[in-house]
Copies of this chain bind each other. A is one copy, B any other.
Amino acid sequence: MEQLKRLNDRIVSRVNANLSEFEFDTENFVSNSLEYDKMLKFYAFYGITSQHPLYFDFKNSNIAGSYFLGKCHVGRSSIYKSDIRGDELKRKGDAINGVENLPLVEDELISIKDSLLYKTLVHSNSHNPESPEEFGIRNTVSAHYSNIHGSTLEGCFLGPFATVDMMNLHSCIVGNFSYVQAGELFHRKINPGTVWIRNSNFEFKYNFKKEILDSFVGVNETYQPRGIIYDFVKEREQEYEKLFDVMNLKPIETPDSSAVNRYAVVRGNTKIGENVLVSQRAFIDNSIIGHGSNAQENSYIINSSLAGLNVTTHGGKLIYSNIGLETYIGFNAFLNGKPEASIDIGDGCIVMPHTIINPDVSIEIPENNLIWGYISSKEDLESHIIPLDELAEIRDSLKIGKMAFTGNGSVFIDVFQKRIKQVLLANGALFANGENCGHAQDGQNISYNIIQPYTTGTLQGLYPSIRIKP
């Protein structure tokens, strides 16, 4: 274990060097988080398909629990339970979004060096025009269930349940349960519970009240997560372990046009519609997943229904919730309905990332609304909702409760809706007559290779160096 411990110490030093101005010591977090027994016990795996260029290169690392797809390099890193989904990596000749004249000269590669990703998801649709062939994460520590969504990172610390979305961060700290989608950031500290979206046309900002944040995703003095959302996830952890014990599971019954990943939990009286994608580590219990919907990695759908064409993004959680047609559930949204207090959301709504709904009585949200922030009652709802057509009229600024918006409302909505459409298309939700094939249709023919570390000796806990090519 000596060498694995030395590896982790080295990562801590490098991240601390990047964050020295904040006097933030990641050692405190790291030494209290790592479960060495599980890092030895859990296996990692990678997918082989004919649809993705194949290149895996793992060196001097512990990659326990991780799932790799697409081209990935991991060096001198500890990666524990991370999904690293490279199925949206760009290919040679592709243009990066918004930069038409700079086609990639080779296939894009996820490259993770000197980093510690802890129960983290890395999604591969990166947006850094400076390095289109390499989606890089270096000298970075990310905590429990943070989302690295197409974001390059250098010298950063991400708190528990933080999301960084399609951006580039250099020497930044992102607080627990913060959502940031703000282009490029240098040497910034993002306070816990911040929801911040910014581009040249608009800015959206919201901050959770400290006491609410503390009760849902707080951290203690060693930056370990606690609170209702963390407990919710932790309680269900062992359901996944069962999936890892069996080599070939009997596939869940689904229409031919749908895919349920074999590393997803599906139980209870669940119905899966056409063109549905249930990703690895999604959790579906006693729910209806309507046509063209998806349940992305780390999403939970329990005693709920999706009417159809719904995107349930990474970490979205629906409990006793009925979601209307084409309604979008943002990252880490926590819709905590109860048998006696269900959540009904109409068609065409946008539930902003990191929205928490925790009602005592049933809550109904009419169609075509945008909602955000913390909603525990009908009164709360009034200051956390705006009809999309009202927002579309805004041209300078708007303040509702703790939410501040500036810029062009109609562009804001347009950007969201385009993105939702693009996700649905990529996931195969619009598949018909052999056209618009997406992940739901492609994801069915995959073989998983399983890799484990040395169990004894000086290399204990480290994986051998493995390089895989076609």
A450-470 with Cβ < 8 A to chain B:
450-460, 464-470
In the assembled complex, A50 has its CB within 8 A of some CB on chain B: yes
**When chains A and B are docked, how far (Å) is the Cα of A248 from the Cα of B465?**
23
User: Given A466-B468, A469-B464, are A459 and B50 neighbors across the interface (CB < 8 Å)?
Assistant: yes
User: Contact at A447–B458, with CB atoms within 8 Å?
Assistant: no
In the assembled complex, A245 has its CB within 8 A of some CB on chain B: yes
Q: Which of B54, B244, B449, B453 contacts A247 (CB 8 A)?
A: B244
With a 10 A CB-CB cut-off, give which of A54, A447, A457 has the most chain B CB atoms. A447
Contacts of A50 in B (CB 8 A): 454-460
**When chains A and B are docked, how far (Å) is the Cα of A445 from the Cα of B457?**
10
Q: Which of B45, B450, B459, B467 contacts A466 (CB 8 A)?
A: B467
User: Contact at B470–A464, with CB atoms within 8 Å?
Assistant: yes
User: Contact at B466–A470, with CB atoms within 8 Å?
Assistant: no
In the assembled complex, A415 has its CB within 8 A of some CB on chain B: no
Q: Which of B248, B446, B449, B453 contacts A48 (CB 8 A)?
A: B453
Q: Which of B54, B450, B455, B464 contacts A464 (CB 8 A)?
A: B54
Q: Which of B245, B445, B448 contacts A456 (CB 8 A)?
A: B445
Chain A residue total in the interface (Cβ 8 A): 35
Contacts of A245 in B (CB 8 A): 246-248
> Nearest chain-B residue to A458 (Cβ)?
B50
User: Contact at A459–B470, with CB atoms within 8 Å?
Assistant: yes
In the assembled complex, A49 has its CB within 8 A of some CB on chain B: yes
**When chains A and B are docked, how far (Å) is the Cα of A248 from the Cα of B464?**
20
User: Contact at A454–B49, with CB atoms within 8 Å?
Assistant: yes
Contacts of A445 in B (CB 8 A): 455-456
A24-54 with Cβ < 8 A to chain B:
43, 45, 48-51, 54
User: Contact at B247–A456, with CB atoms within 8 Å?
Assistant: no
* A397 CB to nearest chain B CB (Å): 52
User: Contact at A449–B451, with CB atoms within 8 Å?
Assistant: yes
Contacts of A446 in B (CB 8 A): 455
Contacts of A447 in B (CB 8 A): 43, 452-455
* A292 CB to nearest chain B CB (Å): 24
User: Contact at B48–A454, with CB atoms within 8 Å?
Assistant: yes
Contacts of A457 in B (CB 8 A): 49-51
**When chains A and B are docked, how far (Å) is the Cα of A457 from the Cα of B289?**
30
Contacts of A246 in B (CB 8 A): 245-247
* A28 CB to nearest chain B CB (Å): 31
Contacts of A51 in B (CB 8 A): 456-457
Contacts of A45 in B (CB 8 A): 450
User: Contact at A43–B456, with CB atoms within 8 Å?
Assistant: no
User: Given A246-B247, A247-B245, A247-B247, are A48 and B452 neighbors across the interface (CB < 8 Å)?
Assistant: yes
User: Contact at A464–B468, with CB atoms within 8 Å?
Assistant: yes
* A59 CB to nearest chain B CB (Å): 9
* A246 CB to nearest chain B CB (Å): 6
**When chains A and B are docked, how far (Å) is the Cα of A468 from the Cα of B468?**
9
* A419 CB to nearest chain B CB (Å): 30
* A62 CB to nearest chain B CB (Å): 12
Contacts of A54 in B (CB 8 A): 464
* A410 CB to nearest chain B CB (Å): 44
**When chains A and B are docked, how far (Å) is the Cα of A260 from the Cα of B445?**
35
* A241 CB to nearest chain B CB (Å): 10
Q: Knowing that A43-B247, A245-B248, A450-B450 touch, tell me 16 more A-B residue pairs with CB under 8 angstroms.
A: A48-B452, A48-B453, A49-B454, A49-B455, A50-B454, A50-B459, A50-B460, A51-B456, A51-B457, A54-B464, A244-B247, A448-B450, A449-B450, A459-B470, A464-B468, A467-B467
In the A-B complex, the 5 residue pairs with the closest CB atoms: A50-B457, A447-B452, A450-B450, A445-B456, A465-B469
